[in-house]
Amino acid sequence: MYRDYTYKVEKELAIMLATVSHHLHPDIVEFIKKKNKEFKNEFKSYSHPNLKIEDFLFDGSDCLFPGLRRPVNKEKTTKKWKNNINEIDGTIFNDNTYPRHVWSFLVLNKSYSSHSWKESGLNSFELAHIFGHKIDETDLEKRAFNNFNIDQNPYSLFTSASNVVLIPKGLTKPTDKLESIKLCYYKRHIQLYGENFYNMSGFKHDMVPEWYDDIVWPDPELPKDWKFKIQNLLEYRSRHLELKYTDSVSFRSLINKVVPSNPINEGEKTADSIDLRNENSVQHTSTRFYIDEKLYVELKKNPDLNYELIVSPNKGKHPKGVYVVPNSFIIDFIEVKRNSNNWKKNKNFHQDGIPKQLRNYFNWTN
């Protein structure tokens, strides 16, 4: 009785969506692929023994966070499945945080946080994964490629730099559901980056709608200082993944440390009574210990967020390592510093050494 007239608007939808879609520039993707070749051996040195590294860092991979993937529904067996290591295959489950890091670094030169995402204007967009990155969401890919290997997992596509497109909020559904439009995005991907996949090859171009050539795609933008920003992203990636995969050693040793000898408030919860592996953390990098007013405001607005600071010194006395500080403790610490003349003048506090009140929240790395 009621007919589906979608076919009447598919072409117009594809043309309109193309005009508002942002793909990463191919030069950025090529840079990441080159760096991944160098990164592979480093990643092998600390990744989980059960992880199939080739699923992520195969030849030609532009995967930004190897090991990270979205779980299928049956794998979400506990409430705290996010950002925990799956001991069966050594992967780390995530919702949709990690694919945002590349866009955040290109715009802000820092890792993703909900606050900065909104502040930068990126909150106007949604992430569209063009090719399926979960094993139960590859039906069209199996039909659209001559070669599809079901024994090779598509997990790298979750944080593949070329597989995530920025599309304005509310407009991503067609790229998820309409095959004709998905096929157009498949072809556009291949035009920009080639068939840079692990589990499939031989795209069937004859499946693409005949009106594809009527689509006018915008040229990908190459942001100013992009190489510097992407290098910072890759350094953040390296430190972050090493921390995640050495969790069983690093965090366990951190959590088992004694209670700080100088707690700010009697009865304050400390490192051995707080779950410091909470997936919700405000993450920053610095060459020394650093806090500022912006961080304070963000933590006050989000009391469930802990503070994670990765310190990678260029010179000076501060050792290399990571702070993971519970929200209430770092808030108290900051509020003491906010009374100082330096804070009133500069709105920040930095120290070339570990603050004594925070020494048991700091974990040394080599």
pLDDT of the chain, 366 residues: tens digit per residue: 888 778 778 899 999 999 999 999 999 999 999 999 999 999 999 999 999 999 999 999 999 999 999 888 777 776 667 777 888 899 998 878 899 999 999 999 888 888 778 888 999 999 999 999 998 889 999 999 999 999 999 999 999 999 999 999 989 888 888 999 999 999 999 999 999 999 999 999 999 999 999 999 999 999 989 999 999 999 989 888 887 787 543 333 333 333 333 333 333 333 332 333 345 688 888 999 999 999 999 998 888 788 999 998 988 889 999 998 888 788 878 988 887 888 989 999 999 999 988 887 888 876
Q: Are 56 and 192 in a shared domain?
A: yes
Residue at a domain's end among 167, 195, 225: 225
Q: Are 327 and 198 in a shared domain?
A: no
pLDDT for 277 equals 37
d(CA 152, CA 56): 10
- Confirm whether 169 is domain-assigned: yes
Q: Are 220 and 179 in a shared domain?
A: yes
- Confirm whether 238 is domain-assigned: no
> pLDDT digits over 227-277, tens only?
999 999 999 898 888 877 875 433 333 333 333 333 333 333 333 323 333
d(CA 154, CA 319): 38
pLDDT for 276 equals 38
pLDDT for 79 equals 65
- Confirm whether 1 is domain-assigned: no
Query: For residue 303, which phi and psi values (nearest 5 degrees)?
Result: -65, -10
Q: Are 171 and 256 in a shared domain?
A: no
Nearest to 332 by CA among 307, 363, 360, 364: 307
Q: Are 259 and 181 in a shared domain?
A: no
Q: Are 221 and 257 in a shared domain?
A: no
DSSP code per residue over 163-199:
SEEEEETT--HHHHH-HHHHHHHHHHHHHHH-S--SS
Q: Report the number of distinct structural domains present in the chain.
A: 2
pLDDT for 78 equals 67
Q: Are 251 and 221 in a shared domain?
A: no
- Confirm whether 230 is domain-assigned: no
> pLDDT digits over 187-227, tens only?
999 999 999 999 999 999 999 999 999 999 999 999 989 99
Question: In the block, which residue shows the tokens 């919860």?
Answer: 269
Which tokens in the block code for residue 208?
């693409």
Residue at a domain's end among 225, 259, 274: 225
d(CA 46, CA 242): 6
Which domain, by its residues, includes 36? Answer: 6-225
Question: In the block, which residue shows the tokens 């570990």?
Answer: 354
Q: Are 190 and 104 in a shared domain?
A: yes
Q: Are 52 and 176 in a shared domain?
A: yes
- Confirm whether 232 is domain-assigned: no
- Nearest-10 crossing angle of helices 10-19, 179-193: 40
In sequence order, the 6+-apart residues with CB closer than 8 A to the CB of 209 are 10, 11, 14, 180, 183, 184
- Confirm whether 241 is domain-assigned: no
Q: Are 270 and 201 in a shared domain?
A: no
Q: Are 58 and 190 in a shared domain?
A: yes
d(CA 35, CA 38): 5
Task: Tell me the pTM.
Answer: 0.69
Residue at a domain's end among 191, 225, 259: 225
Q: Are 208 and 307 in a shared domain?
A: no
Q: Is 180 left (phi over 0), alpha (psi -120 to 50) or beta?
A: alpha
Nearest to 131 by CA among 166, 172, 162, 90: 162
What is the distance, to the nearest Å, from the Cα of residue 129 to the centroid of all Cα atoms in its chain? 13
- Confirm whether 326 is domain-assigned: yes
- Confirm whether 240 is domain-assigned: no
